[in-house]
Amino acid sequence: MDVQAGGDNTIAQTLNGTEQVMWLFGSNRYGQLGVQENAGEWDFNPDPRSLTTCELMDREFCDQYTVLSSSVGNDFAIIQTAAKV
């Protein structure tokens, strides 16, 4: 498990079999968690929300990509992907 913690949000990266899963929680005030729940509000998302690699990108090609890294700050979250070799 890889965990990135910012000032107001967190991403935990896990493997579910061969599928990478991001667990996102904390502030989503600016939509930085990539989900609609609490977007634009000051309330935090206390329960982790899962987001798979296929939910991050086009499902037709999602099995060809892997998550390299993630990073979070007060108002942003970045999940870097790359083509599988």
pLDDT of residue 58: 66
Check if the beta carbon of residue 15 is closer than 8 Å to that of residue 58.
no
Give pLDDT tens digits for 12-70. 888 877 778 888 888 888 887 777 777 888 888 778 888 887 777 766 777 777 777 78
Rounded to an integer, what is the distance from CA 4 to the centroid of its chain? 10
Domain parsing of the chain, residue ranges: 2-83
Tracing tokens 């579910």 back to the chain, one arrives at 16
CA angle 54, 16, 7 (to 5 degrees): 75
The secondary structure of residue 78, as a DSSP letter, is E
Beta-bridge mates of residue 22 = 13, 51
Q: What DSSP element (H or E) covers 44?
A: strand 44-52
